[in-house]
């Protein structure tokens, strides 16, 4: 565990904190902590900062509901900056309603493909629709109709995948994408996160390797 005495707070008793999404590494915001805010964050696991404008502690999400669940805490080589890797509740970190405070680009030198797990991202969107319905949303339509409707759609999409495989690759890609989306809706209905499926597959892969190695 990090010893608070290692952190070099500035003359105002503050240390800058870089806040980063733990899944896709997107930088969401820059904030500040004093020693009390740091200790509160360590104690609760929820990001707590020091508001310089209000001159008081600030639990992120206390009024908006967009809390930040801390996953990992780092500090830099000079011991004067903290990095928080967090889970952003509600997918909004900025008070403007943007996901990240750094949404205004000055210049783009090279196009960078984001390092995003699209299945995790899509699942988060589906969960967001489930918890905060939007009129006209197809995802909400499925949840409103219930599990039987979702299961029916999964079955229909399975058939479409088979038909697509008999036709051409482009159609097959489209139908597989539809199937995966409906499977994610089904998972969301039962609160099964993609990580659970990944862990199951990893476990099976490890068992396969153990079995293979045992033959040598």
Residue 70 has pLDDT above 50, yes or no: yes
Q: Output the pTM of the full model.
A: 0.56
Chain mean pLDDT for the chain: 90
Taking residues 152-177, report their average pLDDT. Answer: 93
The whole-number average pLDDT for the span 82-111 is: 89
Mean pLDDT of 148-173: 93
pLDDT at 203 over 70: yes
Distance CA 210, CA 30 (A): 45
Looking at residue 213, its pLDDT comes to 46
The order of strands in the sheet holding 27-33 is 27-33, 15-21, 82-88, 68-75
Tell me: pLDDT of 112 over 70.
Answer: no
pLDDT band at 24 (very low <50, low <70, confident <90, very high): confident
> Measured between alpha carbons, how far is 91 from 46 in angstroms, rounded to an integer?
15
pLDDT at position 117: 82
Q: Per-residue pLDDT averaged across 122-128, rounded?
A: 93
Q: What is the mean pLDDT of residues 121-131?
A: 93
């Amino acid at each position: 565990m990090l010893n608070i005495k290692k952190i070099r707070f500035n003359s105002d008793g503050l240390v800058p904190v870089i806040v980063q999404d733990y899944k896709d590494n997107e930088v969401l915001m820059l904030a500040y902590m004093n020693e009390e805010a740091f200790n509160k964050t360590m104690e609760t696991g929820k990001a707590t900062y020091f508001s310089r404008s209000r001159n008081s502690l600030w639990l992120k999400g206390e009024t908006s509901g967009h809390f930040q669940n801390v996953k990992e805490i780092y500090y830099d080589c000079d011991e004067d900056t903290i990095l928080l890797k967090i889970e952003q509740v509600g997918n909004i970190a900025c008070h403007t309603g943007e996901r990240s405070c750094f949404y205004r680009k000055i210049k783009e030198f090279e196009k960078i493909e984001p390092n995003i797990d699209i299945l995790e991202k899509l699942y988060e969107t589906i969960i967001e629709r489930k918890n905060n319905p939007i009129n006209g949303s197809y995802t909400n339509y499925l949840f409103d109709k219930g599990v039987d409707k979702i299961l029916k759609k999964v079955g229909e999409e399975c058939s479409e995948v088979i038909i697509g495989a008999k036709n051409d690759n482009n159609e097959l890609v489209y139908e597989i994408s539809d199937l995966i989306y409906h499977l994610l809706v089904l998972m969301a209905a039962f609160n099964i996160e993609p990580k659970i499926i990944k862990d199951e597959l990893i476990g099976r892969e490890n068992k396969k390797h153990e079995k293979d190695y045992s033959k040598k």
